[in-house]
Amino acid sequence: MTVHIGAPVGRIAETVLMPGDPYRARWAAETFLESAELVNETRGMLGFTGTWRGHPVTIQGSGMGMPSLSIYANELIRDYGAKTLIRIGSCGGMQSDVGIRDVILAMTASSINTPSTGIFRELNYAPHADFGLLRAAADAAAESAAKVHVGGIYSSDVFYDERPDLNEQMVRHNILGVEMETAELYILAARYSVRALSVLTVSDHLQTGEQLPSEERERSFGDMVEIALKAAFA
Ligand code: GMP
């Protein structure tokens, strides 16, 4: 076990899906995994390990924001030997052709600040997805009913943003959606030579103000989980 994950070493699979919301970790484990068992509940950040089509998989909540995700991703990679980390989360749509319920595969993640900004100093590192995972997810997405977009996203470190001009610049530069975790996930994966990808469902839209109705969330999020699992084991 680690400071933030109570599972014994060996109870976490090499492939980890990471939703922000721990209750969504439980829902995804119950819906998609066979023989899922609760392996972590430290601080209520639920983690489950089971199998998907015979492959061991852990679904571990990351919490919201890059500092929280960074704690779980660091421990999963460095202490438990995770090799493939796929964020399954929600984001706000930023382009007019990106609708709610659509799925975004995040090729890159722009940001103004991540927990790693301090080490890069004047460098402007470009956090990017693992290409093999991204390609496999794009192939899996072609079979799914969801409309799928591949491109850059924006990992913000605030939800209640006092700088709407930043969102405007992101929209102007063709960024598809905004969320709060991916840039740091991609930086950590590169640092430790493991694979990472974010598969996101558009839950709200910045321009139209539309929001995914709560009764539809599960079905829409299901497409994303399936794409993530197929990509991990392609
Ligand atoms: O509600 C915030 C959580 O959902 C964070 O974990 C974000 O990754 C994600 N999220 C979904 N939609 C949005 C959005 O419109 N803006 C931001 N900043 N985060 C979002």
Per DSSP bridges, beta strands 47-52 and 55-60 are antiparallel
Domain regions of the chain by residue span: 15-232
Of 62, 71, 36, the C-alpha closest to 51 is 36
- Model-level pTM greater than 0.95? yes
Q: What is the ipTM of this complex?
A: 0.99
The yes-or-no verdict on residue 201 having pLDDT over 90 is: yes
pLDDT digit string, tens, across residues 98-120: 999 999 999 999 999 999 999 99
Known binding positions: 4, 20, 24, 43, 87-90, 179-181, 203-204
pLDDT of residue 217: 78
Q: Measured from the CB, is residue 152 less than 6 Å from ligand 1?
A: no
CA dist 217 and 129 (Å) reads: 25
Q: How far is the CA of 233 from the centre of ligand 1 (A)?
A: 27
Q: Could you tell which of 66, 72, 111, 159 is best to mutate to test the pocket of ligand 1, judged by most ligand atoms within 8 Å of the CB?
A: 159
CA dist 143 and 184 (Å) reads: 29
Sign of torsion over alpha carbons 5, 107, 31, 27: positive
The CATH architecture one would assign to domain 15-232 is: 3-Layer(aba) Sandwich (3.40)
For atom 14 of ligand 1, the residue with the nearest CA is 92
Q: How far is the CA of 19 from the centre of ligand 1 (A)?
A: 12
DSSP state of 126: -
Beta-bridge partners for 109: 153
Give me the active site residues, please.
Answer: 204
Q: How far is the CA of 159 from the centre of ligand 1 (A)?
A: 6
